[in-house]
Amino acid sequence: MITNQWYLVCFENELEKGKILKRKIIGEELVIFKTQNGSVAVLQDRCCHRNVHLSLGYVKGEHIKCGYHGWEFGTTGKCEHIPSLPPDEKIPKAACIKSYDVVVKYKAVWAYFGDPEKKAATEIPPFHELSKWPMVYNYHVVKGNIQLAAESLFDSHHINHVHRKSIKTLMGNLHHQKPDYHLSITNTSLKGWYLRDNENSILEKIYFGFDEKVETHFAFWFPNSSKLHLHFPAHLTMPARQMVIYEHFYQIDEENVMMIQITAWHQIFQYTPWFAKWFMLKKSMKIVEEDIAFLESNKYWHSKEKLNDLLIKPDELTFEFTKLWNKNLKQNASTTYQKEATEL
């Protein structure tokens, strides 16, 4: 499990005052809730009193209240009220639940998992467009390998095949053996752009443009986020338009991977926002389903040596991604992260 990271636990519009959401991220069970005053908290989904699920309780004012004996916990996880406590007794010091640092950013709630000392040096992936553009999102649980899931969005050659019935034309085709990816690589991320051939249908060309090439930008931030960004230039009476697809992924547990796909757009179908939303959601559901069929079919990796032998020149992106992934995974494994014991 990859720690010392910010993970996206939910979207802001999923949180209603008084409502409890449940999640499991890198093996840790969580409750997420919004208090009466609007504070957002992420706590471990275990009441410290008798170790039952806190999510069986409810939110009351600024507290989450365990459904079993009614102990009440604040957003920091500290127990602040015990209904059955005699007046001459104090709340035990150890009556505390693990809490996670939370940031609300890009219309989403992010929680930090890991060594507190490493938090300052760890960044939330830059999902800038989500703050200003309309967007849709969907969650998918995949029985597959996290590394393959991480690579799947920006894998340039799979679009012609996996997505031949969905976005192949919109995204353009890739005939060249090896495009120029204009790669720039840092210690924890890679990004770049390349050109695909515009093979849109005539109707799509009327809307998206007759340019011969479609500019495709991509990025990956270790270990949990990737991005595809399409630019459609101004054309006829239409302004320049853009569309981004983000994918955020993490291991739920040893077997399952969560893939959250988020699509945001700018100036596309701007006069019919309801249609844009319906269209983007429908397309993005189809795209993820097409990917998942392949992700779930990958059960066993070849040995590393064999994998490298099978890379061909157009697999440059896979090659660079794999290098980055392995380097960071090694570093992450060498850091220690002590889960706080919840037993009293």
Residue 66 or 287: the one with the smaller Cβ distance to Fe ion is 287
Length in residues, the chain: 344
Q: List all residues 6 or more positions away from 41 whose beta carbon is below 8 Å from its beta carbon.
A: 32, 33, 34, 35, 64, 75, 76, 99, 102
Residue 66 or 258: the one with the smaller Cβ distance to ligand FES is 66
Q: Which amino acid is at 5?
A: Q
**Does residue 302 touch ligand FES according to CB under 6 A?**
no
Residue 82 or 149: the one with the smaller Cβ distance to ligand FES is 82
Site string for Fe ion, 143-172 (x = CB under 5 A): ------------------------------
Q: List all residues 6 or more positions away from 204 whose beta carbon is below 8 Å from its beta carbon.
A: 169, 170
Q: Which residue has the tokens 């959250």?
A: 260
Site string for ligand FES, 49-88 (x = CB under 6 A): xx-x-------------x-xx-x-----------------
Work out which of 291, 292, 321, 332 binds Fe ion, going by CB under 5 A.
Answer: 291
* Residue 7 buriedness (CB in 10 A; 0-12 / 13-18 / 19+): buried
The CB-of-48 to ligand FES minimum distance in angstroms stands at 8
Residue 51 or 272: the one with the smaller Cβ distance to ligand FES is 51
Residue 308 phi/psi, 5° resolution?
-65, -35
210 CA to centre of own chain: 33
Residue 68 or 193: the one with the smaller Cβ distance to ligand FES is 68
Q: Which amino acid is at 332?
A: N
The CB-of-172 to Fe ion minimum distance in angstroms stands at 14
Site string for Fe ion, 248-287 (x = CB under 5 A): ----------------------------------------
Residue 69 or 98: the one with the smaller Cβ distance to ligand FES is 69
H or E element that contains 22: strand 20-25
The CB-of-52 to ligand FES minimum distance in angstroms stands at 5
Site size toward ligand FES (CB under 6 A) is 8
**Does residue 72 touch Fe ion according to CB under 5 A?**
no
List the strands of the sheet with 5-11, edge to edge: 5-11, 108-113, 102-105
The CB-of-51 to ligand FES minimum distance in angstroms stands at 7
CA atoms of 300 and 237, how far apart (whole Å): 51
Q: Which amino acid is at 98?
A: K
Residue 64 phi/psi, 5° resolution?
-105, 135
Which residues bind to Fe ion, rule: CB under 5 A?
A: 291
Which residues bind to ligand FES, rule: CB under 6 A?
A: 47, 49-50, 52, 66, 68-69, 71
